[in-house]
Amino acid sequence: MAFVFENAHPLEVLRWAGETFGDGLVVTASFGDPTLPHLVSQSIPWADVVMLDTGYLFAETEWYADHLAERFGVRVRSIHPRPDIERDVWQHDPDACCRARKVEPLERALAGAAAWVTGVRRSDGDTRRSTPVVHDDPERAVTKINPLATWDAARVADHIASNDLPLHPLADRGYGSIGCWPCTSPLAAGEVERAGRWRGSDKIECGLHLAATTGVPVTVTHS
């Protein structure tokens, strides 16, 4: 029977990923909302959820990750930048800062992995509109799994409400997509979720998900 990822619930995708890749699976989450950690706890609770701790996360995000870990019973594994990198590069070269504080730590987290689960959604923005649910990621040499790709903000909000999940503490202070404090600002009325990231610059991605629109979708048959 063909497994139709496009129409599958994220829980089905995650269960398939767990059965297919086992210990070769790495899950990363931004901890800006509870959705992915919650779904992981309901499907592959043995999997660690990796937090890329750039050193510039909001204190609220650090607290929230601990809170979700305790509430859902998932293990959060923090990956940090190398200790010898230059500080405050975000002030003059945000691309270099993201490379050192996000991309390089991700590459360490994915070393030896066969598959990578992310919280990327098509509705995040134009660069993510064609994100497959499952695809080859040649840049990271893994199968990339985006179980939430087809969910928009309203579907996420519905999942949070129907499961009575806690929101990030900054959510009710006007923040949408929540990243590092120097590069995240609250939203004005009507702005899209990621409008508060790198406000005032052309930068719209940190470099983690550049292959999201270029990888080849995976077709899988299982019984």
Catalytic residues: 206
- Among positions 14, 39, 180, 208, the unique one binding ligand SF4 when judged by CB under 6 A: 180
Minimum distance of ligand SF4 from residue 109's CB (angstroms): 15
Is 97 among the residues that bind ligand SF4 (CB under 6 A)?
Answer: yes
What values do phi and psi take at 51, rounded to 5?
Answer: -110, 120
The window from 22-30, 66-74, 91-99, 215-223 that contacts ligand SF4 (CB under 6 A) reads: 91-99
Interface pick for ligand SF4 out of 139, 153, 182, 185 (rule CB under 6 A): 182
Residues 48-67 as x/- pattern, contact with ligand SF4 by CB under 6 A: ------x-x-----------
Calculate the alpha carbon distances from 32 to 115, 178, 218 in Å. 22, 5, 28
Nearer to ligand SF4, 102 or 121 (CB): 102
d(CA 181, CA 199): 12
# of chain residues touching ligand SF4 (CB under 6 A): 13
Q: How far is the CB of 103 from ligand SF4 (least distance, A)?
A: 9
Largest Cα separation within the chain, whole Å, is 53
Q: If binding is defined by CB under 6 A, does position 168 make contact with ligand SF4?
A: no
Q: What is the DSSP string of 38-77?
A: HHHHHH-TTS-EEEE--S-B-HHHHHHHHHHHHHHTPPEE
Decide: is 128 part of the binding site for ligand SF4 (CB under 6 A): no
| Minimum CB–partner distance for residue 45 and ligand SF4 (Å) | 29
* Tokens matching residue 217: 């979708």
Least distance in Å: CB of 174 to ligand SF4? 18
Give residue number: closest CB to ligand SF4.
180
Nearest residue to 100 via CA among 87, 118, 116, 113: 87
State the CB neighbour count (10 A cutoff) for residue 204.
14
Q: How far apart are CA 45 and CA 123, in angstroms?
A: 26
Instruction: Tell me how far apart the alpha carbons of residues 194 and 203 are, in angstroms, rounded to a whole number.
Output: 11
Q: Which residues bind ligand SF4 (CB under 6 A)?
A: 54, 56, 90, 94, 97-98, 101-102, 179-180, 182-183, 206
